């Protein structure tokens, strides 16, 4: 699709130029009926996105990746957020709601998983597209003109006519185009795309990814792509961060990652991706077991119950994310895989 740019691959070397710099992010949710008890869904998460960069945040469902995405703009009403989210020199965690509202939509925009539910069923497409602008005082007429342009850019035919339509009159792929138009209308510096293709059928998935790619290339917008699908990542991202049980367990450049993931979990994920060069029927081995329940996390490394390389230390000590020597990648594992592993059949 496009060649990865020559951006520094590791987190640590992105320092000064990061557009979005997340440090030690934690997200807690109150337990329903738990009288103030909370559950920690995301822990000690570091993540950087440089201007124009495409970063993929990968994990199974329940790994905390979507919670992270929403936490970046503090969108969950009940979430308690800790750590720092530095964006253009300001910490989004400590901003007032009012200051944060100025950033939402125009500096950082979002696309959610299911276009069916992301669109308000009782408002016309035009009003929803224009909303990002009208709430900032742009007159409705002017905003609708911009909305029409946005739809045009996304290749929606008869855009003018479509503005008056309601979401139920669109197909799934069309709705996601509308959602994308809604995201770019404010001309953001970062687009957070939370599983933007999951709810779509395979044929449309590729189109939507290509659209995001084009939009980002045209405007120099950075993209944080949240996904469970490594297949999506391969052709798309510059860097990959893998999450497991609320923690980031590996972060590296996309080529390094696909050449040899260092965390056993990342390796397992990669093996479970169907690939053309392997016989699908025999070699698709999924990681056994299920992700841990956040209410009862395992001791030590959260992945050890599903890991085939564990040693005693894994049961007691939570591995820290450490930068591997001579490499531009970080792994949180006591038993990280060697740099070049013989490919297991």
Partner 1 sequence: MDRRLTRYLLRRLWLVVLAVWGLATLVFFMIKAIPGDEAQSAAGITATPEQVEVVRERLGLNLPLWGQYLAYLGRLLHGDLGSSIFTFRPVTADLGGALPATVELVAAAVLLNLLIGVPVGMLAAAYERRRPDAAIRLGAIAGGALPLFWLGLILQHLFGARLGILPISGTQSMGMEAPRVTGMATVDSLLAGDLMGWWDAVQHLVLPAVTLSVPFIAFAVRLVRTSMITALEADHVVMARAKGASPLRVMLQHGLRTCLGPIVTLIGMQTGWMIGAAVLIEGVFGRPGVGAYLTEAVQQKDTFAVLGVVLFTGVTVTLVNLAVDLVQLVSDPRVRAAQLGASPLGAKA
For residues 97 and 277, which CB has a smaller minimum distance to partner 1 in the complex?
Answer: 97
Residue in 123, 130, 231, 115 with CA at minimum distance from that of residue 174: 115
CB of 129 to partner 1, least distance (A): 10
- Residue 65 structure tokens: 């990746």
Between helices 125-134 and 140-153, what is the axis angle to 10°?
Answer: 120
Q: Are 236 and 210 in contact (CB under 8 A)?
A: no
What binding mask, one character per residue, do residues 6-45 give for partner 1 by CB under 8 A, x or -?
Answer: ------------------------x-x-------------
- Identify which of residues 90 and 309 has a Cβ nearer to partner 1 in the complex: 90
Report, in Å, the least distance between residue 196 CB and partner 1. Answer: 12
Count residues binding partner 1 (CB under 8 A): 43
Residue 48 vs 113, nearer CB to partner 1: 113
In the bound state with partner 1, the residue whose beta carbon lies nearer, of 179 and 234, is 179
Q: In the complex, what is the shortest distance from the CB of residue 262 to partner 1, in angstroms, rounded to a whole number? A: 34
For the CB of residue 20, give the shortest distance to partner 1 in the complex, in Å.
15
Touching partner 1, residues 71-110 (CB under 8 A): 73, 75-78, 97, 101-106, 109-110
Question: Which is nearer to partner 1, 9 or 110 (by Cβ)?
Answer: 110
332 forms part of the interface with partner 1 (CB under 8 A): no
Residues 5, 220: contact at Cβ < 8 Å?
no
How far is Cα 314 from Cα 103, in angstroms, rounded to an integer?
Answer: 41
E strands, the chain, where?
20-30, 38-49, 54-58, 80-87, 90-91, 108-111, 190-194, 222-227, 239-244, 247-253, 322-323, 330-331
Q: How far is the CB of 165 from partner 1 (least distance, A)?
A: 5
Chain Cα centroid distance, residue 69: 6
Q: Which two tokens stand for residue 101?
A: 């509202």
- Show contacts with partner 1 in window 127-146 (CB under 8 A): 131-132, 135-136
Q: Residues 258-297 vs partner 1: string with x where CB under 8 A?
A: ----------------------------------------
Q: Is 186 in the site for partner 1 (CB under 8 A)?
A: yes
| Touching partner 1, residues 143-182 (CB under 8 A) | 161-162, 165-166, 168-171, 174, 179, 182
Residue 224 found at the interface with partner 1 (CB under 8 A) = no
Say if CB 64 and CB 245 are below 8 A apart.
Answer: yes
Could you tell me the CA-to-CA distances from 171 to 116, 130, 178, 273 in Å, in that order?
9, 20, 10, 28
CB of 276 to partner 1, least distance (A): 34
Residue placing its CB nearer to partner 1 in the complex, 166 or 258? 166
56 or 182: CB nearest partner 1: 182
Report how far residue 51's alpha carbon sits from residue 33's, in angstroms, rounded to the nearest whole number. Answer: 42
Nearest residue (CB) to partner 1, 132 versus 252: 132
Q: Which residue has the tokens 């609320």?
A: 246
What is the C-alpha separation between 107 and 188, in angstroms, rounded?
A: 4
CB atoms inside a 10 Å sphere around CB 81: 20
Distance, in Å, from the CA atom of 329 to the CA atom of 11, rounded to the nearest integer, reads 7
210 binds partner 1 (CB under 8 A): no
Nearest of 151, 66, 165 to residue 121 by alpha carbon = 165
Site for partner 1, rule CB under 8 A: 30, 32, 70, 73, 75-78, 97, 101-106, 109-110, 112-114, 117-123, 131-132, 135-136, 161-162, 165-166, 168-171, 174, 179, 182, 186
């Amino acid at each position: 699709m496009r060649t990865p740019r020559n951006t520094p691959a590791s987190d640590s070397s992105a320092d000064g130029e990061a557009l979005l710099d997340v440090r030690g992010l934690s997200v807690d949710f109150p337990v329903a009926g738990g009288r103030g008890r909370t559950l920690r869904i995301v822990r000690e998460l570091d993540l950087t996105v440089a201007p124009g960069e495409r970063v993929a945040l990968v994990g199974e469902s329940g790994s905390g990746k979507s919670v992270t995405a929403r936490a970046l703009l503090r969108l969950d009403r009940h979430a308690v957020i800790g750590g720092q989210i530095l964006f253009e020199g300001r910490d989004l965690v400590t901003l007032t709601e009012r200051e944060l509202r100025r950033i939402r939509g125009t500096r950082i925009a979002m696309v959610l998983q299911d276009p069916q539910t992301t669109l308000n069923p009782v408002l016309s497409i035009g009003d929803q597209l224009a909303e990002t602008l009208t709430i900032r005082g742009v007159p409705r007429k002017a905003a609708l003109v911009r909305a029409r342009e946005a739809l045009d850019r996304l290749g929606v035919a008869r855009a003018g006519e479509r503005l008056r339509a309601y979401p139920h009159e669109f197909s799934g792929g069309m709705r996601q185009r509308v959602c994308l138009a809604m995201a770019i209308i404010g001309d953001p510096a970062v687009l957070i795309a939370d599983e933007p293709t999951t709810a779509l059928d395979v044929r449309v998935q590729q189109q939507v990814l290509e659209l995001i790619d084009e939009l980002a290339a045209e405007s120099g917008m950075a993209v944080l792509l949240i996904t469970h699908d490594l297949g999506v990542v391969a052709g798309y991202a510059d860097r990959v961060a893998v999450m497991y049980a609320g923690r980031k367990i590996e972060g590296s450049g996309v080529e390094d990652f696909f050449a040899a993931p260092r965390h056993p979990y990342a390796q397992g994920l990669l093996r479970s991706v169907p690939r053309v060069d392997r016989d699908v029927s025999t070699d698709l081995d999924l990681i056994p077991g299920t992700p841990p329940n956040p209410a009862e996390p395992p001791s030590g490394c959260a992945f050890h119950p599903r890991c085939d390389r564990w040693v005693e230390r894994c049961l007691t000590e939570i591995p820290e994310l450490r930068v591997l020597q001579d490499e531009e990648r970080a792994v949180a594992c006591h038993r990280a895989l060697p740099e070049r592993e013989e490919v297991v059949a």
